[in-house]
C-alpha cells in the first residue's frame, strides 16, 4: 500500500528526514513513535505532499505508483488521508456539509458527477451509526467550540466518509484526554479493513493500549532506528527513549 525508500527531506535547508525506509501493507496498522522533534510530523506532512518540506532524495509509492509529482490534493484524491493537527473553524458550515463538499470535490477531480443525495445520506447514516455519532453533532458548525474529543470525533468521521487507502493519524502529544483517545482508538479499530492501511503517530504508548498495532517503529533523529511489534511499545513505555538514543549513537 505504502512504500517509502530512503526518503530525505529538508525544511529551510536543514535536513529533517535522513533516510526513511518504511513499508505498510494493506490491512495493517503501524504505529510510529519517537521523542519530540524526531521528525514524525514531518514524515506525515511529506507523505501528504506538504510543500513546506523539500524532498531531496528517495521515493514514496502508493500502491506501486510513485506519488512524488502529485500535489497534496491529488494525493488526497488518490486515497491519502492525514488527520488535521490544527483544524480550522468554519462557522456556518456543518460537519456534514463540509464532508458533502469534500466528497463531491474529490469525485469531480476524478471526472465523476456529484454523489446522488440519496447515496450521500445513506453514506452519512452508515458511517455515523458505525462510529456512534449522533445527529446533533453532525449539524454542528465545523470545529466551532469543539472539545478535544469532538475534534477527534470529527476527524474520525472525515476518515470514515473518505474511505482512504492510507490514513495517517498524527496525534499531538498534549491535549488528548482519555475520552479523545478512546474516540480515536475505536475509530481506527472500526475503520481498519483489509483494503486500507493506517499509520498512527504518537508520542505516548497510552494510545496503543486501545489500538493494537501490527508493527511499531521508532523514529529518532530523522531515521527509523528500531522496528518491532506491540511489545516494542511496551518496552518504550517502561524504559523511555534514552536506550534508543544510545543505540542510535553507536
List interacting residues with ligand ADP (CB under 6 A).
11-12, 16, 34, 36-42, 52
59 scored as a contact of Mg ion (CB under 5 A): yes
Which residue lies nearer to Mg ion by CB, 51 or 59? 59
Which residue lies nearer to ligand ADP by CB, 2 or 16? 16
Please identify, among the stretches 40-48, 143-151, 208-216, 227-235, the one whose residues bind Mg ion according to the rule CB under 5 A: 40-48
Name the minimum Å distance from CB 35 to ligand ADP: 7
Which residue lies nearer to ligand ADP by CB, 25 or 175? 175
Backbone φ, ψ for residue 249 (5° rounding): -80, -20
Strand partners of residue 55: 9
Q: What is the DSSP string of 76-100?
A: HHTTEEE--SSPPPEEEEEHHHHHH
The listed partner (ligand ADP, Mg ion, none) that binds 36, CB under 5 to 8 Å by sort, is ligand ADP
Which residue lies nearer to ligand ADP by CB, 52 or 139? 52
Which residue lies nearer to ligand ADP by CB, 11 or 90? 11
CA distance 240 to 247: 13
Q: What is the DSSP string of 40-75?
A: HHHHHHHHHT-TTSEEEEEEEEETTEE-TT--HHHH
42 scored as a contact of Mg ion (CB under 5 A): no
Nearest to 223 by CA among 22, 12, 11, 3: 22
Name the minimum Å distance from CB 44 to ligand ADP: 8
65 scored as a contact of Mg ion (CB under 5 A): no
CA distance 148 to 12: 31
Nearest to 188 by CA among 218, 157, 219: 157
CA 65 to chain centre: 19
Which residue lies nearer to ligand ADP by CB, 34 or 213? 34
Name the minimum Å distance from CB 55 to Mg ion: 7
Q: In b/e form, how buried is each residue of 162-192, taking b as 16+ CB within 10 angstroms?
A: bbbbbbbbbbeeeebeeebbebbbbbbeebb
Please identify, among the stretches 35-43, 108-116, 134-142, 157-165, the one whose residues bind Mg ion according to the rule CB under 5 A: 35-43
Q: Which spans of this chain sit near Mg ion (rule: CB under 5 A)?
A: 40-41, 59
Amino acid at each position: 500500500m505504502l512504500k517509502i525508500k530512503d526518503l530525505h527531506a529538508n525544511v529551510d535547508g536543514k535536513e529533517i528526514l535522513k533516510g526513511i525506509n518504511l513499508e505498510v501493507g494493506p490491512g495493517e496498522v503501524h504505529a510510529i513513535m519517537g521523542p519530540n522533534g524526531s521528525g514524525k510530523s514531518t514524515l506525515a506532512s511529506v507523505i501528504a505532499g506538504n510543500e513546506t518540506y523539500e524532498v531531496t532524495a528517495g521515493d514514496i509509492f502508493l500502491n506501486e505508483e510513485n506519488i512524488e509529482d502529485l500535489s497534496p490534493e491529488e494525493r488526497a484524491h488518490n486515497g491519502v488521508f492525514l488527520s488535521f493537527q490544527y483544524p480550522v473553524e468554519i462557522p456556518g458550515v456543518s460537519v456534514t456539509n463540509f464532508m458533502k463538499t469534500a466528497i463531491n470535490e474529490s469525485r469531480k477531480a476524478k471526472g465523476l458527477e456529484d454523489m446522488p443525495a440519496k447515496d450521500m445520506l445513506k453514506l452519512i447514516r452508515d458511517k455515523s451509526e458505525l462510529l456512534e455519532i449522533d445527529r446533533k453533532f453532525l449539524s454542528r458548525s465545523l470545529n466551532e467550540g469543539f472539545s478535544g474529543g469532538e475534534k477527534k470525533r470529527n476527524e474520525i468521521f472525515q476518515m470514515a466518509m473518505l474511505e482512504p487507502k492510507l490514513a495517517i493519524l498524527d496525534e499531538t502529544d498534549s491535549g488528548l484526554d482519555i475520552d479523545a483517545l478512546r474516540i480515536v482508538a475505536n475509530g481506527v479499530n472500526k475503520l481498519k479493513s483489509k483494503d486500507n492501511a493506517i499509520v498512527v503517530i504518537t508520542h505516548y504508548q497510552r494510545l496503543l493500549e486501545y489500538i493494537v498495532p501490527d508493527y511499531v517503529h521508532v523514529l529518532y533523529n530523522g531515521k527509523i532506528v528500531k522496528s518491532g511489534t506491540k511489545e516494542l511499545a511496551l518496552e518504550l513505555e517502561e524504559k523511555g527513549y534514552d536506550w534508543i538514543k544510545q543505540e542510535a549513537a553507536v
